[in-house]
Amino acid sequence: MPHPASSGTGYLMVSAWLQMMGEDKGWAFMDALHQNMGVYTHSGSKPCRQAGAGEFALGLSFEYRANKTKKDGAPIDIVLPREGLGWDMEATAILKTTKKADAAKALADWAVSRAANQLYAANFAIVALPGVGVPLEFVPADIEKRLAKNDFTWAADNRERVLAEWSRRYEAKAEKR
């Protein structure tokens, strides 16, 4: 599983579990999961790649990496829990202090264009523009319905506290840097 302090994918998982289950049940779930954990990696992709290579029986990761790993021939099954998936939004912004406002605006305009979303859709199951996304070969078509209700404010406000508690409980199985 990705380490939540060094991997956004890992923090999205932990945050989603705590929000979906409540903190008592969420920590109990992670305590039980920890008993079966081989290592907490510093990459959101690595657990899936390791499972694909046969190093571990299971790897918690994200849909892009799972789809690509399977598409590249790894003998894995992709399982997306129906209870809910942690998720975030990719964003583009222009800092008001930018020295190259025209270039930044050109990039931002392109990033939200139909052409850009078509490129995103080649790798990601959900894109911003309706009607542009296409199902990925190995990802269930109903992935959008599986997204957990995500309170981004809670996730941000509680991040340091959650990571401190997570580290206190599970850091012993983190891979060395």
Whether the CB-CB separation of 172 and 154 falls below 8 Å is answered with no
Q: How much is the pTM?
A: 0.90
From first to last of the 177 residues of the chain, give the pLDDT tens digit.
999 999 999 999 999 999 999 999 999 999 999 999 999 999 999 999 999 999 999 999 999 999 999 999 999 999 999 899 999 988 999 999 999 999 999 999 999 999 999 999 999 999 999 999 999 999 998 999 999 999 999 999 999 999 999 999 999 999 998
Q: Check if the beta carbon of residue 42 is closer than 8 Å to that of residue 7.
A: yes
Amino acid (one-letter) located at 97: T
Range of the domain at 70: 8-173
Strand partners, 174: 40
For residue 40, the cross-strand partners are 174
3 belongs to a structural domain: no
CATH of the domain at 117: 3.40.190.10
In a domain, 2, yes or no: no
Cα 20 from Cα 14, distance rounded (Å): 10
Angle, helix 23-35 to helix 159-170, in steps of 10 degrees: 30
